[in-house]
Amino acid sequence: MPKMVTKSEIKKSTLAQFVEKGGYTIVTQDPETGRLKGVARASEITGLSDETIRSIMKAQPYPPLKTLPKYVDDFYASEGYKLLEGKYGHRRFFKTVLIPTAIEAFNILESKDPISWDRDDFEKLWKYPQLQDPQIEWIRFDKACQLRNVMRAIGKASLLENFQTKKRKAGAKRHWYLVDEDIIALIGEIYEVDTLLMLEEGINTGARFSGLVTTIPDKINYDESILQIWEPKVKEWVDKDIPKCLLDLIEQYISDFGIKGSERLYRKSYSVYLNRLKSAGVRAGVKHKVTTHILKHTFVTQALNRGVSLEVASLQCGTNPKTLQDYYLGVDRQRRRHELIGEEYKTIPFPEWFASLHSYFVKRYEDIKDNCIMGEKGIELKQRRKVRKAKVARIRKPRKIEWKAIEKNIATFEALPDDKKAIARQRFTIPYWKRALELHRQGFSDDEAIRFAKTKEVMVTGGQ
């Protein structure tokens, strides 16, 4: 009887390899017979032998669960966690930011309940090396913000003035933005009408993604060419003065896809639009990564380089003028070389520049709108039906049997001792081939010899 393989006898690296390559999704077990299916396929993909895979499935039939350290369970059982959940459990940052920071601090403080953290504990956290930002020689800004939230939750708000946050100094400017060639190439690689419209609205309004997604028909004033969007940074509706050509395209989009007054024009998530723009940028050959935020950089740089004042650009964006200069204004190298070394420099006003690009947006919209539908969660591409090729009937070739090899194998079988003949007969089905060989000697064709040998029919006369 074979030795039973236990979970402890399977190497961790072998099990990890099987899990990482998707072995548990390939191999399935028949609930009635208990037989494993897909072992050969899993062997090809995982690089493990059939025997190893069967051993894994016998000892560990289900994927191993990820085990969390004990201190994580202790944290969730603490009174401090209950306070945090009661105060911040409804907030978006609770699970994604606050709790991971609190668990990290809980471990540093050797599983001390957060409800009893005092000034000495927070001083230890503020000076802990793994929480430091080397650029400012202080605790990281995000960690400090969340730990201050902990202070508020546990009733230690009096400590806030002693544990301040520090931001890094203003970083380097982004020295790139979308130039005309980038925008035109990008337009040609976008396949969804909402992404196309978001691109044009972004480079005209300078809005962040969080503002663009608040665009709704009810906030559009067609008579005065004003579009209102909500800017979370300033927490108010900001007027965007946009040209009539863009309003016309927005109006057509609303009509084509039946968008109601209070419904959003862009309903997909941030990650969806980000991935669409990034992929389009790669296909278009844009040198840098295209993101939703680069649309604002493009508006600021293109507008200021084409005669729009910093004050007006600031009002359009809803962003402080100094912030625009520090973080959003790219370098116009052509203008710089014109003013410094006298190279020729031609530019047109921002409205004319935008109008010259608008025709590309309109043409692309007409090209792709019939391939798009409005689904429950926004614009989707229609599913294209795959054209299946007609099956061509295969002509079965006559089977050719190597009768000399068959005769040799049978002679070897006859020479075996009686105790080994039973094993060989079971393994090689020798009686079946002996009958086929006899039929072949009588003159039957190869196919007839095989067919009649399988049915065990006794043939007296030879074939035609």
Helix (H, G, I), strand (E, B) or coil at 274: helix
Which pLDDT band holds residue 325 (cuts at 50, 70, 90)?
confident
DSSP H helix total and E strand total for the chain:
24, 9
Instruction: Give the separation between CA 236 and CA 230, rounded to whole angstroms.
Output: 6
Mean pLDDT of 36-51: 85
Model pTM score:
0.52
| Packing angle, helices 119-127 and 99-108, rounded to 10 | 100
For the stretch 285-301, pLDDT in tens is 998 889 888 999 999 99
Which pLDDT band holds residue 435 (cuts at 50, 70, 90)?
confident
Asked if residue 386 belongs to a domain, the reply is: no
For the stretch 206-237, pLDDT in tens is 998 989 999 999 999 999 999 999 887 777 88
Asked if residue 393 belongs to a domain, the reply is: no
Q: Is the pLDDT of residue 457 over 70?
A: no
Q: Choose one of 162, 191, 225: the last residue of a domain.
A: 162
Asked if residue 394 belongs to a domain, the reply is: no
Do 213 and 378 touch, CB atoms closer than 8 A? no
Helix (H, G, I), strand (E, B) or coil at 325: helix
Of 2-11, 187-196, 213-222, 423-432, which gets the smallest average pLDDT? Answer: 2-11
DSSP state of 319: S
The amino acid at residue 408 is K
Asked if residue 66 belongs to a domain, the reply is: no
Average pLDDT over all residues of the chain: 84
Which pLDDT band holds residue 188 (cuts at 50, 70, 90)?
very high
In 321-420, at which residue ranges do the beta strands (DSSP E only) sit? 372-375, 378-381
27 and 120 in a single domain? The answer is no
Instruction: Give the separation between CA 386 and CA 383, rounded to whole angstroms.
Output: 9
Q: Is the pLDDT of residue 33 over 90?
A: no
343 and 273 in a single domain? The answer is yes
> Per the structure block, which two tokens stand in for 172?
């380097």
Residue position matching structure tokens 């009893």: 116
Mean pLDDT of 88-113: 91
pLDDT value, residue 293:
87
330 and 226 in a single domain? The answer is yes
* Bridging pattern class, strands 236-241 and 378-381: unpaired
The amino acid at residue 209 is F
311 and 212 in a single domain? The answer is yes
106 and 46 in a single domain? The answer is no
331 and 227 in a single domain? The answer is yes
What is the domain count for the chain? 4
Asked if residue 280 belongs to a domain, the reply is: yes
Residue span of the structural domain in which 425 resides = 403-455
Instruction: Give the separation between CA 286 and CA 332, rounded to whole angstroms.
Output: 17
> Which one has a higher pLDDT value, 423 or 416?
416
| Packing angle, helices 119-127 and 141-153, rounded to 10 | 170
Asked if residue 432 belongs to a domain, the reply is: yes
Asked if residue 2 belongs to a domain, the reply is: no
218 and 356 in a single domain? The answer is yes
274 and 350 in a single domain? The answer is yes
For residue 166, which of 137, 127, 125 has the smallest C-alpha distance?
A: 137
pLDDT value, residue 35:
83
Kindly list the distances between the CA atom of residue 403 and the CA atoms of 36, 224, 445, 457, in Å, as whole numbers in the listed order.
37, 93, 12, 20
33 and 79 in a single domain? The answer is no
> Per the structure block, which two tokens stand in for 188?
């040609």
Determine whether 232 is exposed, middle or buried from the number of CB atoms within 10 Å of its CB (0-12, 13-18, 19+): exposed
* Domain CATH number, residue 261: 1.10.443.10
135 and 283 in a single domain? The answer is no
414 and 361 in a single domain? The answer is no
Determine whether 74 is exposed, middle or buried from the number of CB atoms within 10 Å of its CB (0-12, 13-18, 19+): middle
CA 171 remoteness from chain centre? 29
Q: Is the pLDDT of residue 105 over 50?
A: yes
Asked if residue 67 belongs to a domain, the reply is: no
The amino acid at residue 307 is G
Q: Is the pLDDT of residue 448 over 70?
A: yes
Provide DSSP, 20-66: HTTHHHH-EE-TTT--EESHHHHHHHH---HHHHHHHHHH--SPPPP
Determine whether 144 is exposed, middle or buried from the number of CB atoms within 10 Å of its CB (0-12, 13-18, 19+): buried
pLDDT value, residue 425:
61
Instruction: Give the separation between CA 89 and CA 291, rounded to whole angstroms.
Output: 31
Percentage of residues in the chain with pLDDT exceeding 90?
43
203 and 351 in a single domain? The answer is yes
Q: Choose one of 351, 381, 411: the last residue of a domain.
A: 381
Mean pLDDT of 37-63: 85
Q: Which long-range contacts (CB under 8 A, 24 or more apart) does 97-103 make?
A: 97/142, 97/146, 98/146, 98/149, 98/150, 101/142, 101/143, 101/146, 101/147, 102/75, 102/146, 102/147, 102/150, 103/71, 103/72, 103/75
